Amino acid sequence: MALRTSTGRFVAAISAAAGAMALSGCATPGELPDGSTMAALAEAGEIAVGIKYDQPLFGEMGADGVPAGFDVEVARIVADELGIDEDGITWVEAPSGDREDLLSSGRVDMVVATYTISDERKERVGFAGPYYVAGQSLMTRTSDAEIASALDLDDKQVCSVEGSTAASTIKRMAPDAGLVLFDDYSDCIDPLRTGQVDVVTTDDVILAGYAADAQGQFRVVGGAFTAEPYGIGVALEDDDFRLWIDDVLEAAMEDGRWLAAWNDTAGAVLPEPQVPHLDRYARAASGE
């Protein structure tokens, strides 16, 4: 039997005890709404997840084919709720500029890849979350004393990534800077080291990962000058899956799994974050 909730979602009519089980890693297809993406994924025992492969602390593919990072752990929490273990997860590299296409083409079921929730992107994909809020910042060579903030970028060469909020924000904020765009942030690291570019700009937590790996060669400057709420991207019209993931995130934030995921990954370098406020938004009807 299915019930429609006040938010318009269909849920299986299950006991409170079974409901609690569904959010503690024991999901079986029978506990998930009939016909939902969640039921289909749980039934298949497989999920394809888009992550970054080159961002230490959040998403980095290991030489052994096993990825690590906070995004990866958040994805594992969601998979676990579907009863899907590591063997059932297909990790797919999701560069910033490819994330919407990966979702709309169905190549991945979700994207967990330092993916800022924005109104523009909400027209192409759905977002659960946020599960973390980062902020855009700058990374320079430690030896470079000239750049202390985004006000110092005139005539500087600034490196960022196609399809990122970081690139569009810096275009607006520093129109007189030279902008060099690659597919991945790791492509900016050698040019920064050799002096071909003066600055790398993206979210502070991504830069912190590269700075930590560079052992003093680089530093993050200028503070956080935007808010970048990280969401889990899903197919645009799949409101049931999106809101179910919100429920999973909420439970994980309450019972310690979210914090444990942080402490095991980005928490090695970064301070403990505040628990973010989930944004269970209503999607504008198509055509509006």
Is residue 117 near ligand GLU by the rule CB under 6 A? no
CA dihedral 202, 205, 208, 213 (to 10 degrees): -100
Among 70, 91, 115, 127, binds ligand GLU (CB under 6 A): 115
Q: Is residue 141 within 8 Å of 192, Cβ to Cβ?
A: yes
Instruction: Report the nearest approach of ligand GLU to the CB of residue 263 (Å).
Output: 22
Distance CA 193, CA 3 (A): 58
Instruction: Report the nearest approach of ligand GLU to the CB of residue 94 (Å).
Output: 9
Scanning 107-115, 150-158, 186-194, 236-244 for contacts with ligand GLU by CB under 6 A, the matching segment is 107-115
Is residue 169 near ligand GLU by the rule CB under 6 A? no
Among 61, 161, 261, 270, binds ligand GLU (CB under 6 A): 161
Rounded alpha-carbon distances, angstroms, from residue 256 to 9, 75, 131, 183, 261? 27, 15, 13, 35, 9
Instruction: Report the nearest approach of ligand GLU to the CB of residue 185 (Å).
Output: 7
The angle at the Cα of 44, spanning 129 to 5, to the nearest 5 degrees, equals 45
Size of the site for ligand GLU (CB under 6 A): 13
Residues 218-277 that bind ligand GLU (CB under 6 A): 228
Is residue 166 near ligand GLU by the rule CB under 6 A? yes
Q: What share of the chain is helix, strand, coil (3-state, %, to 5)?
A: 35, 25, 40
Instruction: Report the nearest approach of ligand GLU to the CB of residue 161 (Å).
Output: 5
Residues 187-206 that bind ligand GLU (CB under 6 A): 202-203, 206
Scanning 6-14, 159-167, 215-223, 272-280 for contacts with ligand GLU by CB under 6 A, the matching segment is 159-167
E strands within the chain? 2-4, 10-12, 47-51, 54-55, 59-61, 67-68, 89-93, 110-111, 125-134, 136-141, 157-161, 178-182, 199-203, 218-221, 228-235
Binding residues for ligand GLU (CB under 6 A): 96, 113-116, 161, 164-166, 202-203, 206, 228
